[in-house]
Chain A
Amino acid sequence: MLSEFSAIEGRSPRYWMLVGLFALVLAVGMGAFLAIEVYGHGITGMNNQVVWGMPHVFAISLLVMASGALNLGSMSTVFATVQFKQFTRFSAFLAIVLLVGGLTVLLLDLGRPDRLLLPMLHMNFRSMFTWNVFLYSGFLVLCLLYLWSMFSYKQFTKVVGSAAFAWRVILTTGTGSIFGVIQARDVFHSAITGPMFVAVSLTSGTALSTILLVSTYRRTGRHMDEKLVFGLRNALIFFTLLVGYLFVVEKFTKMYSPAFYDVELWLFTGPWAKLYWFGVWGCCVIFPLMILFNGRWGNTVHGVMAASGITVVGVFAFVAHVLLAGQSFPFDMFPGYQLSSVFLDGVDAVYTPALVEFALGFGGIALSGILFLLGIKFFRLLPGRAVAPKGWELPWSP
């Protein structure tokens, strides 16, 4: 029997301190945006070789997690996973706030954010960016409808929830395809880039949901059945294995072609190798699995939380690696020749992120954080007690 939904009280000094902290970070982020707006991107670390920097890393990571945040809703509505039905409202709301945070950073990092109306007036349907404008706004609308149906029109929940599920798969494929379709860059160009983004959204969304659910229930003194956390752990294990599988397939395919030897060797041993091995493989796949498969750590809530935290770090590392390494690898315009020029042809691009970029990125996270905190205070998003349905048992534990 599911418990009644209720908002958290949100009156404690700790709650308001957290809101205040996020508000402060958001204010700093807004300040960073204004500074970039006034002085130009010259005050960032970006340059004419690495044109997308940390704000894009933050924005795309948030957008990937927004899609993944809908996991619990999709698992319940589409795949009838009954134990997560109580988290569907939370899931749809989290997807919305992460999307808002990510989009805000993305738009404020434009060279001319004052021309924001132009993408809506002049659309180029060959551009993945144009498609993403539709995909993001459509996802936002579907999540709002999904949430609304769960509150007031339950008869539509199945339809809207299923549409939101299909949309999120297309959305994240679209996000990955921003890079995947770029033929000019060897690191980006792959048919599997989109599916890899989908897989990483599954892990990071589940991980972030786990962290926020456990923290919210613990901090508000509510009860959350540990079995539910371990259910999330099992889902996280499955999704993480999927990520590892796609990583292997991508590398195997590229390493098979001599044309990619140079770039792949560069990725494994070059200036971004640490991020690749430690951040991408370590945080996205190996470290979480080491914890989750461990008989002792994997069966504690702390262990699951630690693995989830590492997975969330992993999504940032994955996006950072795709973006930054992808732009740093020099163009091979004249095969067989060593290139040099005043425009730094033939050498690895150098990028050192500036503080304003981190401020803008963290501002986006803070915006999502504030919206989440206000959401769980003013809406009945979570059940008072999160309990496993009667008769439901974990199918497997490490």
Chain B
Amino acid sequence: MTMDRRSVLGLGGVLAAGLVLAPGMRLVAAPENVTEASDKRRWGMLIDTTHCDAACTACTQACRTENNVSIVGDPQRDIHWIRKVDLHDKDGRKPDRSLPVLCNHCEHPPCVHVCPTEASFIRKDGIVLVDMHRCIGCRYCMIACPYKARSLVYSKPKVPPDANTRVPIRAKGVVEKCTFCVHRIDDGGEPACVEACRKDGGGSMLFGDINDPNSEISKRIREVSTTTIRADLGLKPRVHYQGI
């Protein structure tokens, strides 16, 4: 096959255009350049399980409403950014507990480590997020997460009529998870689950900057005995539990 001069020039032009445009596409997709998060802050959560009622679902309901997390109707495929887990001591010596489990926004998140496209990333303030435009739906992050905190969107999601326009609806085929309600944090607020727990629940959830030694959460973590889920894995989760 031979190519005339015109074709060679045309092909060269297309390649050059591609090279010029590619870095621009990268800039648009790169999340770190558009965030205003501060690396001086480290957001964390403390959950006092002694005040969490098994029948209360204020946190999970608020999360669904705030983040447009729809119910698929299939327990195997329903999406959960936060869920209530009931604990029953196998030896019967400790009291039963009920507590919310969500993304632990680890300091060393395995989901971020395994993501091939860097769609899962850590913001400067430690919040682990998913860039839904970069996620290819390989699900390796779901395999790697020890908290089962991630869900794949298995089919086209239903958009509720009163959807929160501040949180985009995720497309089918991508993985989604708790964002600590990052849009509210950036406005100086707190996650919807924490607010709902204080208003309608037992007030067992506390959110704040664990880098600030004077924040309420830092004081509580210093004062009371807390634990994290699977601390043995060395991931340094930022969701702490009291009472288990």
Closest residue of chain A to B133 (Cβ to Cβ) is A115
- Given that A40-B153, A110-B137 are known contacts, is A331 also in contact with B148, CB under 8 Å in the complex? yes
CB distance from B233 to the nearest CB of A (A): 6
**Alpha-carbon distance between A338 and B22 when the two chains are bound, in angstroms:** 51
- Given that A129-B140, A327-B143, A333-B146 are known contacts, is A339 also in contact with B87, CB under 8 Å in the complex? yes
Of A42, A52, A183, A334, chain B has the most CB atoms within 10 Å of the CB of A334
A: residues with CB less than 8 A from B are 39-42, 46-49, 51-52, 110-113, 115-116, 118-119, 121-124, 126-130, 133, 178, 181-185, 327, 331, 333-334, 336-346, 350
Query: Within 8 Å of chain A (Cβ to Cβ): is B244?
Result: yes
Query: A46-B154, A48-B78, A48-B151 provided; 18 other pairs, C-beta below 8 A?
Result: A40-B153, A41-B173, A47-B77, A48-B142, A49-B76, A51-B143, A51-B152, A111-B174, A112-B136, A115-B117, A123-B118, A124-B116, A129-B138, A182-B143, A333-B101, A337-B88, A338-B87, A341-B83
Report the interface size class on chain B: 35 or more
- Measured between beta carbons, the chain B residues less than 8 angstroms from A338 are 87-90
- Measured between beta carbons, the chain B residues less than 8 angstroms from A341 are 83-86, 101
CB distance from A323 to the nearest CB of B (A): 9
Asked if A184 and B118 make an inter-chain contact with CB atoms under 8 angstroms apart, the answer reads no
Query: Within 8 Å of chain A (Cβ to Cβ): is B159?
Result: no
Asked if A133 and B116 make an inter-chain contact with CB atoms under 8 angstroms apart, the answer reads yes
CB distance from B187 to the nearest CB of A (A): 29
- Measured between beta carbons, the chain B residues less than 8 angstroms from A337 are 87-90, 94, 97, 244
**Alpha-carbon distance between A333 and B22 when the two chains are bound, in angstroms:** 43
Other-chain contact of A342, B75, B119, B153 (Cβ < 8 Å): B75
**Alpha-carbon distance between A121 and B116 when the two chains are bound, in angstroms:** 10
Closest residue of chain B to A179 (Cβ to Cβ) is B143
Asked if B155 and A39 make an inter-chain contact with CB atoms under 8 angstroms apart, the answer reads yes
A-B contact pairs, 5 of them (CB 8 A): A48-B142, A52-B143, A111-B152, A118-B119, A123-B117
CB distance from A105 to the nearest CB of B (A): 13
CB distance from B85 to the nearest CB of A (A): 4
Tell me what chain B mostly uses at the interface: helix, strand, loop, or mixed: loop
* Tally of A-B Cβ pairs under 8 angstroms: 185
**Alpha-carbon distance between A346 and B148 when the two chains are bound, in angstroms:** 11
- Given that A40-B172, A127-B114, A339-B86 are known contacts, is A47 also in contact with B76, CB under 8 Å in the complex? yes
CB distance from A23 to the nearest CB of B (A): 27
Lowest 5 A-B CB distances belong to which pairs? A111-B137, A111-B173, A184-B146, A42-B155, A47-B76
CB distance from B67 to the nearest CB of A (A): 16
CB distance from B196 to the nearest CB of A (A): 17
- Given that A40-B155, A340-B85, A341-B86 are known contacts, is A119 also in contact with B144, CB under 8 Å in the complex? no
Of B29, B118, B136, chain A has the most CB atoms within 10 Å of the CB of B136
Asked if A119 and B116 make an inter-chain contact with CB atoms under 8 angstroms apart, the answer reads yes
- Measured between beta carbons, the chain A residues less than 8 angstroms from B77 are 42, 47-48
Asked if A48 and B91 make an inter-chain contact with CB atoms under 8 angstroms apart, the answer reads no
- Given that A182-B143, A340-B86 are known contacts, is A124 also in contact with B117, CB under 8 Å in the complex? yes
- Measured between beta carbons, the chain B residues less than 8 angstroms from A127 are 113-116, 140
Closest residue of chain B to A50 (Cβ to Cβ) is B76
Asked if B175 and A111 make an inter-chain contact with CB atoms under 8 angstroms apart, the answer reads yes
**Alpha-carbon distance between A183 and B233 when the two chains are bound, in angstroms:** 7
Asked if B22 and A111 make an inter-chain contact with CB atoms under 8 angstroms apart, the answer reads no
Query: Within 8 Å of chain A (Cβ to Cβ): is B134?
Result: yes
Produce 1/0 per residue, B204-244, CB < 8 A to A: 00000000000000000000000001100100000000001
Query: Within 8 Å of chain A (Cβ to Cβ): is B26?
Result: yes
Asked if A41 and B116 make an inter-chain contact with CB atoms under 8 angstroms apart, the answer reads no
Asked if B172 and A342 make an inter-chain contact with CB atoms under 8 angstroms apart, the answer reads no
CB distance from A59 to the nearest CB of B (A): 12
- Measured between beta carbons, the chain B residues less than 8 angstroms from A41 are 137, 152, 154-155, 172-173
- Measured between beta carbons, the chain A residues less than 8 angstroms from B80 are 342-343
Closest residue of chain A to B99 (Cβ to Cβ) is A334
Query: Within 8 Å of chain A (Cβ to Cβ): is B181?
Result: no
**Alpha-carbon distance between A40 and B174 when the two chains are bound, in angstroms:** 10
**Alpha-carbon distance between A133 and B136 when the two chains are bound, in angstroms:** 14
- Measured between beta carbons, the chain B residues less than 8 angstroms from A119 are 116-117, 136
CB distance from A115 to the nearest CB of B (A): 5
Other-chain contact of A110, B91, B94, B136, B155 (Cβ < 8 Å): B136
Closest residue of chain B to A188 (Cβ to Cβ) is B143
**Alpha-carbon distance between A181 and B110 when the two chains are bound, in angstroms:** 10
Asked if A334 and B142 make an inter-chain contact with CB atoms under 8 angstroms apart, the answer reads no
Query: Within 8 Å of chain A (Cβ to Cβ): is B185?
Result: no
Asked if A110 and B110 make an inter-chain contact with CB atoms under 8 angstroms apart, the answer reads no
Q: List residues of B (55-89) whose CB comes within 8 Å of A's CBs.
A: 72, 74-80, 83-89
CB distance from A35 to the nearest CB of B (A): 12
